[in-house]
Chain A
Amino acid sequence: RKEVEQDPGPFNVPEGATVAFNCTYSNSASQSFFWYRQDCRKEPKLLMSVYSSGNEDGRFTAQLNRASQYISLLIRDSKLSDSATYLCVVNWNDMRFGAGTRLTVKP
């Protein structure tokens, strides 16, 4: 089992749609969790941290379920500019990245 697993997609959605990504992790001792966004041939950029109680930043909502060891990211009212690869990141001793979920938002 991979340490961090994501559905690779691709997810192709129309503008305005709501889309959700899930990520599972294997190490129950993981301490912190993040979603990063990576555009084609660019470096990953922090989208948001994921807190135990769940957190929201505008159109983006992140949830953490420690018991089931998964993290989710919900994007509401998707925009063309949301097209990117979304990387799930789990931190224990060092950062472990999922392979990413590719999202394409179409007009």
Chain B
Amino acid sequence: DTGVSQDPRHKITKRGQNVTFRCDPISEHNRLYWYRQTLGQGPEFLTYFQNEAQLEKSRLLSDRFSAERPKGSFSTLEIQRTEQGDSAMYLCASSLVGPTDTQYFGPGTRLTVL
């Protein structure tokens, strides 16, 4: 399967713990995006990378959240000191820079904070 992959698919953690998610984009894609989605809402943009550079961060992304894409391939999203409000589906998408910049999504990581 050459699509976007995410790991883990599900994560249950206790409030206050740190969690890290991984995303592997489609291999030739140079842009990688992170979104958060809660029930009944569309995905909310968090941040994106072009190659290894983090080009934009949403104001939704508090200082407890950090994302990296060290070699311009896979990316990690870390949440420190998790809160119950962080419970959501975290989606990763990738695209190839071009006229339409169409994004393709991974299956997501569902986070539950107890």
| B-binding residues in A (CB < 8 A) | 4, 8, 32, 34, 42-46, 49, 87, 91, 93-100
What is the CA–CA distance of A22 and B103 in the complex, to the nearest angstrom?
21
What is the CA–CA distance of A33 and B33 in the complex, to the nearest angstrom?
17
B48 & A94 in contact (Cβ 8 Å cutoff): yes
The total of chain B residues at the interface (CB under 8 A) is: 22
- Describe A's contact surface by its main secondary structure: strand
**Residues of chain B with a CB closer than 8 A to A4's CB:** 42
CB distance from A100 to the nearest CB of B (A): 5
**Residues of chain B with a CB closer than 8 A to A96's CB:** 45
A87 & B42 in contact (Cβ 8 Å cutoff): yes
Residues of B28-48 contacting chain A, CB below 8 A: 33, 35, 40-45, 48
Given contacts A42-B107, A43-B91, are A91 and B101 in contact (CB under 8 A)?
yes
What is the CA–CA distance of A94 and B31 in the complex, to the nearest angstrom?
11
**Residues of chain B with a CB closer than 8 A to A94's CB:** 33, 45, 48, 56, 58
Which of B33, B103, B104 gathers the greatest number of chain A CB atoms within 10 Å?
Answer: B103
What is the CA–CA distance of A99 and B58 in the complex, to the nearest angstrom?
18
Q: Give the residue of A34, A43, A91 whose beta carbon is less than 8 angstroms from that of B107.
A: A43
B25 within 8 A of A: no
**Residues of chain B with a CB closer than 8 A to A46's CB:** 102-104
Residues of B95-113 contacting chain A, CB below 8 A: 99-108
